[in-house]
Structure 1
Amino acid sequence: MQEEQVITQHKLTGGCLCGAIRYCIDGEPFDADYCHCRLCQQQTGAPVSAWMDFKVGQVQWLEGQVKEFASSDTVRRGFCAECGSTLTFRHTEYPDYLTLSIASLDNPESVSPNYHIYTSSALDWHRIEDSLPRYVKGRSD
């Protein structure tokens, strides 16, 4: 008698503060980071943002539609038009990838960042106290 293998797919769910936008993700992120850049600080109103990276095909939008703002020639920052929640970061030169805010997850404890980027913009009063790798700019800069 052959044993049946059951493979369970990891699913992450999340959305905006008001519930107008909901998403579901199949699988784990391929990367995750803390970003200390000024644009993320201004977008979120926080000293640091936590992001997770997926292939576009992993993300399914269940309700609502993300509104995007072009913060540069190549970057689109997504948010809920109703409540303003920060949701996505999309680099137009990498159309197969989508970055989502870890804080927008229903269970944000399920994903942890792996490193810090743009620490040159980190605010002096916000101390980085973990031992994760730190990059003055992006990891590839």
Structure 2
Amino acid sequence: MDQPAPPPDARLLDGGCLCGEVRYRVADRFEYALNCHCSMCRRATGSAFKAFAGIRRTELAITQGQDRLLTFGDAAAHDVRCRSCGSFLYSVVRNGEWLHLALGSLADAPGIRPTAHIFVGSKAPWFEITDGLPQHAEFD
């Protein structure tokens, strides 16, 4: 999971929800990216896994639709979706200081790629991992 830190003048990436009511901008300063196969991420996304990138919460700015955000959880740990279309945008984690941004919500390509699969011990039995990334039964 160790990756070089991006330069201080990292470019800004745009992203948002399916219906376009929520838009955000985030610095391309992601510190890690993973594919999570835990049952909570699968249920939250409705997918086999959640591809996400971790970044400090201060690096993300909602540029449109702040009032359209729907939060599930508490201040220190929650998921954020668009209230109108239900698109999953990000999770607030690590005592509210970090985000796990759903990579699928980005309109621009980030400079980081997932480096491993985590929680494969509880992955969907109908999904086969076919890439060469490392697989971890849990999150070490």
Alignment match, 1:69: 72
Kindly, what percent of the aligned residue pairs are identical? Answer: 29
Q: TM-score, normalised by structure 2?
A: 0.83
| Matching of residue 15 in structure 1 with residue 16 in structure 2 | yes
Q: Deviations over 1:8-42 (max 9, x none)?
A: 53211100000111111123311111011111111
- The residue that corresponds to 2:80 in the other structure is 78
The match for 1:94 is 95
How many residues end up aligned between the 2 structures? Answer: 131
Any idea what the Cα deviations from partners look like across 1:54-90, whole Å, max 9, x if unmatched? 11121111011231112x8963111111000001111
CA distance in 2 between counterparts of 1:73 and 1:14 reads 22
Distance in structure 2 (CA, Å) of the matches to 1:54 and 1:62 = 17
Alpha-carbon shift at residue 98 of structure 1 (Å) = 1.2
Q: Where do 5+ consecutive residues of structure 2 fail to align?
A: 1-7
Structure 2 SS opposite 1:25: strand
| SS of alignment partner, residue 34 of structure 1 | strand
Q: Give the alignment's Cα RMSD to 1 decimal.
A: 2.1
TM-score normalised by structure 1 residue count: 0.82
Measured at CA, do residues 108 and 8 of structure 1 come closer, stay the same or move farther in structure 2, by a change above 3 Å? closer
Shift of 1:122: 1.1
- The answer to whether the Cα contact below 8 Å between 1:76 and 1:90 also exists between their aligned partners in 2 is yes
Alignment of 1:54-65 (within 5 A): 54-65=55-66
Distance 2:15 2:104 in 1: 9
1:78–1:86 contact (8 Å) kept in structure 2: yes
Matches within 5 A, 1:43-62: 43-62=44-63
1:136 offset after TM fit, Å? 1.0
